[in-house]
Amino acid sequence: MSHAQPLPPRHDGRTSPHQLRDSALQRALHSRADGSALWRQGGTAVLACVYGPRAPASMASEDPERCVVEVAWRPRAGGSPGAQERALEAAIARCAQGALLARRHPRCAVLVALQVLSDDGGALACGVNAACAAMVDAGLPMAFMFGAVACALSSPPDAEGGGRGGAGGAAGRPSPLLLDPDADEEARAAAVLVVAYPYRAVLVSGTATGAEAAAAAAAAAAAAAAAATAAAAEEGKGAGDGSDPEQQQQQQQQQQRLRVSEGALLVDLRGRAADEALALGLRACRKGVEALAAFAREVVAEGVLRGAGAAAAAAAVG
């Protein structure tokens, strides 16, 4: 019986088909926006600016019962947006609209402006992640956060057994599935799949361990501190009435655990792929969103997002 050989490393140095590129997040970069975030995924970077809630641009777009999300996508090359850009705007708007607690701001609109600064693959996924971070930075009320990952399906649609067994492949052949592909990997792929999933933190009984417990404790401490500061500002007095944030944290016996929903907010497929390859891609993208969610949650727990945004994010993920 022949043994499968290790897959060759990807040309950018990643050693696994399921390995994501390095992520980086900066916030509050645009002083005129209500919220802003710059999300970098490898060599791809998208700047998101959020304006609102505010009056809609036209009466035709006004909804008397909820806030409406509008998205403007500007590619790196500039110029007037075409059909492809309009499709991207609609896809991201669906994600943002689903996460926003829209009935809290009827007859209003939120504009999410996205500018692609560099594109080395996965621009749509990067834009989705930037949009979510900017909405959190703006302090918008959200039912959950959301994240997206791209996946390159490199096996031809009619390949027998292509993708069976996960990311592996026959000896000496490239993997049929590459998570978070760069531009070269996208160009060689038979299809590129982008999937966005909602996520939040849920309270579970028992004791979490390792990094999960540390992140949960940090998030709880940040949320408690923000709440205590807001209460003190409103009442004009310190928190000297026995409601110390550290004591509240110690009294809470439950821990938080991230949960990524199995239902996707967005599924964007470009190219052709077999049903089996699509199923593998959906599962791989969900695993990728789990990793991005942990990264975004650490950012919130460390207080990188500004006050109102940190409070909104703590509510969304906790």
Domains of the chain: 23-317 (3.30.230.70)
User: Rounded to 10 degrees, what is the CA torsion of 159, 163, 168, 172?
Assistant: 10
Question: CA nearest 122: which of 29, 36, 20?
Answer: 20
What is the C-alpha separation between 112 and 119, in angstroms, rounded? Answer: 19
pLDDT the model gives residue 76: 81
Q: Where are the alpha helices (DSSP H) in the chain?
A: 83-99, 123-137, 183-188, 210-235, 245-251, 275-301, 307-317
Model pTM score = 0.74
Structure tokens of 145?
């956060």
What is the C-alpha separation between 281 and 32, in angstroms, rounded? Answer: 39
| Res 18 pLDDT > 70 | yes
pLDDT the model gives residue 175: 67
Q: What percent of the chain has pLDDT over 90?
A: 49
Q: Which amino acid, one-letter code, is at 146? A: F
Residue 231 class from Cβ within 10 Å (0-12 exposed, 13-18 middle, 19+ buried)?
middle
Average pLDDT over every residue of 33-50: 95
Backbone angles phi, psi at 278, to 5 degrees: -65, -40
Please give the mean pLDDT across all residues of the chain: 77
Q: What percent of the chain has pLDDT over 70?
A: 67
Highest mean pLDDT among 16-25, 168-177, 243-252: 16-25
The pLDDT tens digits for 107-165 are 999 999 999 999 999 999 999 999 999 999 999 999 999 999 999 997 554 444 433 33
| Res 240 pLDDT > 80 | no
Structure tokens of 282?
């959906």
What is the C-alpha separation between 150 and 229, in angstroms, rounded? Answer: 39
What is the C-alpha separation between 238 and 118, in angstroms, rounded? Answer: 47
Q: Which amino acid, one-letter code, is at 184? A: D
What is the C-alpha separation between 20 and 14, in angstroms, rounded? Answer: 8
With beta carbons less than 8 A apart as the criterion, state whether 150 and 125 touch: yes
What is the C-alpha separation between 188 and 275, in angstroms, rounded? Answer: 20
pLDDT the model gives residue 171: 42
> Which residues 6+ apart lie within 8 Å of 21 measured at CB?
12, 14, 41, 42, 43, 122, 180, 182
Backbone angles phi, psi at 226, to 5 degrees: -65, -40
pLDDT the model gives residue 133: 93
In this predicted model, which residue has the larger pLDDT, 297 or 92? 92
Query: Between the CA of residue 65 and those of 104, 108, 130, 140, 142, what are the distances in Å?
Result: 9, 9, 27, 17, 17
Query: What 3-state class would DSSP assign to 80?
Result: coil
Task: Tell whether the torsion through CA atoms of 290, 203, 144 and 245 is positive or negative.
Answer: negative
